[in-house]
Structure 1
Amino acid sequence: MALTDKKRRFVQALQSGLSGAKAAIHAGYSEKGAAVAASRLMKDKDVQEALGRVNQVNKLKEEAAAAGKIVSLPDLGKLYSDPLEFLKAVANDPAQDMKLRVDAAKAWVPYVHGKIGEQGKKDAKKKAASEAVAGGKFGAPPRPPHLRVVGKG
C-alpha cells in the first residue's frame, strides 16, 4: 500500500520530535488507540521507507556540514527548465505520494493526448458523413476497378 495522508503526517510528526503516540494523535488517530496505532505504523513498510529516506537525507547533510560544505536541497524549478519535463518526472517517480503523481499526470495529459472534440464542427460533420456513406447496407457500392487495355491482340 502507498504512503497515505495519515501515514505521511505521522512521519512528519516523528521528524518534528514527537513520540510515537503523540505523533499518531497529531496524524489524526484517536487518543485511546494512539499507542497501538503508533506501534502498528512503526512496523509499516511504507512508513519505514519514508523514515529511511528522511534519515538518509539528514545523514548526507550532516556529512556535508562536517566537510565544511553548505548543502541545501535543490530547487526543483532550477532542475527543470521545461514544466512538462517536471510533470513527467513527478508522475513517473514511485517515491512520490500517489495523489501528487495522479495530479501531475492529469496536468500532463493535455500535452500528450488531444481532446476528442478538438476538430471543428464542419470537419466533424464531413467525417461523420463519409463514415455513414462508406459502409453499411445502404451505402454506395465500391468503385469499379480502372479498366485498361492490357494488350492489343
Structure 2
Amino acid sequence: MALTDQKRRYADARLAGMGKKQAAIEAGCPEKTAAQAASRYEKDPDVIAAMSRTVAVQERKKSAPPEVDPNPHIPATAADPLEFMRQMMNDLEAEPKLRLDAAKALAAFTVAKPGEKGKKEQVQEAAEQVATGRFGLRKPGQLKAVK
C-alpha cells in the first residue's frame, strides 16, 4: 500500500511526541477504534519508513550547517522545469514515489533512448546489414584501356 494522508498524519503526530492512541485520533480515526488503528499503523511498513525517513532527515539537518532557506518544506523557485524536477528528485523529505516520478520525468528530457532512428535510417541500416557477406554487393570491376 502507499502512504495515505491518514498514515502520514499519524506518523507526524507520533514524531511530534503524542502517544499511539492520541496520534491515531489526531490522524482522523474514531476514538472507539483508535487503539486498534494505532496498533496497525505501528506495524505498517509505509508508516515505519516515513517515520525513519523523517528522523534521518532531521539528524542530517542537525549535523549540516544551517540553510538560508526560511521554509525548507517549500521547494526553491526554479526558472527551469528541469531544475525543479532535479530539486524534487534530490529532496530527501519528499515521498519516494514523488521522487521517483520526478526522476522519470527528468530522464525523459535528459537521457536519449538508444536506437531512436527514423524509418529511412532503419531501412538504410537494414540494407547495409543484408549487403554484407557472400551475396552482398561487390565493387564494380576496373576497366582497362586497350591500345
Contact 2:86 2:106 survives alignment (8 Å): yes
Match of 1:85 in 2: 83
| Equivalence map 1:1-153=2 (5 Å) | 5-6=3-4, 7-14=7-14, 20-24=20-24, 26=27, 31=33, 33-37=36-40, 44=48, 46-50=50-54, 71-73=70-72, 75-76=74-75, 78=77, 80-115=78-113, 118-134=116-132, 138=134, 140=136
Unaligned 5+ runs, structure 2: 62-69, 140-147
Contact 1:22 1:34 survives alignment (8 Å): no
Query: For residues 101 and 74 of structure 1, do their structure 2 counterparts lie closer, same or farther at Cα, with a shift above 3 Å needed?
Result: closer
What is the aligned residue count?
Answer: 122
- TM-score normalised to the size of structure 2? 0.53
Q: Which amino acid aligns with 1:113?
A: V
Q: Taking every aligned residue pair, what percent have the same amino acid on both sides?
A: 28
Unaligned 5+ runs, structure 1: 58-70, 144-153
Q: Which amino acid aligns with 2:51?
A: V
Q: Which amino acid aligns with 1:103?
A: D
Shift of 1:91: 1.9
Any idea what the Cα deviations from partners look like across 1:90-142, whole Å, max 9, x if unmatched? 2234443210111001111221223456422111111222133335xx45389
CA RMSD after TM alignment: 4.2
Shift of 1:10: 1.8
Match of 1:66 in 2: none
Contact 1:23 1:38 survives alignment (8 Å): no
2:12 and 2:18 mapped to 1: Cα distance?
9
